[in-house]
Amino acid sequence: MTPSGPRAEQRPDCALCRGDGGVLVARTPQLRVVLVDDSDYPGYVRVIWNAHVAEMSDLAEPQRARLLAAVNAAETALREVLAPDKVNLASLGNQVPHLHWHVIARFLDDSHFPQPIWAARQRDPDAAQLQRCRQRLPALTARIVELLAH
């Protein structure tokens, strides 16, 4: 099992070790939550384990529980603040093998629905919907911080 405390390995060749991976919303000793800069998906959150590990099974049970609680906090905040039609959760790591979860607010009229956001675009996004989401980002980030504190 790879260590994941403050002295855990960091890799200079890993984008998630070198930087925050988005606009920082919250950081704990174990993980961080960021907003991903994606113009089509302003309700796109990433939960990143701070230590460089590749898989959930690299974590001890209490660490896995903490990570999943943070993913749940992000999903809950998205649902409460943005009221999406669906929330997508994904932990891929094929391109960046550093443990992280994508938590993405999805709307029936978004650019890719019902396909994943990494698939071919289905339509142009609804500009009014995107603007509503962007205006709610301060409330979203505040709610994520609040939920992580509990």
Q: 95-144, pLDDT tens digit by residue?
A: 889 999 999 999 999 999 999 999 999 999 999 999 999 999 999 999 99
Q: Decide if 129 is inside a domain.
A: yes
50 lies in which domain range?
15-148
Q: Decide if 1 is inside a domain.
A: no
Q: Decide if 131 is inside a domain.
A: yes
pLDDT value at residue 121 = 95
Q: Decide if 6 is inside a domain.
A: no
How long is the chain? 150
Cα separation, 103 vs 13, whole angstroms: 24
Q: Decide if 9 is inside a domain.
A: no
Look up residue 8 and give its DSSP letter.
Answer: -
User: Under a CB-based contact definition with an 8 Å cutoff, are residues 75 and 91 in contact?
Assistant: no
Q: Decide if 44 is inside a domain.
A: yes
Domains held by the chain: number: 1
Closest CA to 47 of 93, 11, 109: 93
3-state class (DSSP) for residue 118: coil
Q: Decide if 29 is inside a domain.
A: yes
108: exposed, middle or buried (C-beta count within 10 Å: 0-12, 13-18, 19+)?
A: exposed
> What is the pTM assigned to this prediction?
0.91
CATH number of the structural domain spanning residue 128:
3.30.428.10
Cα separation, 17 vs 96, whole angstroms: 10
Cα separation, 140 vs 97, whole angstroms: 27
pLDDT value at residue 1 = 37
Q: Decide if 7 is inside a domain.
A: no
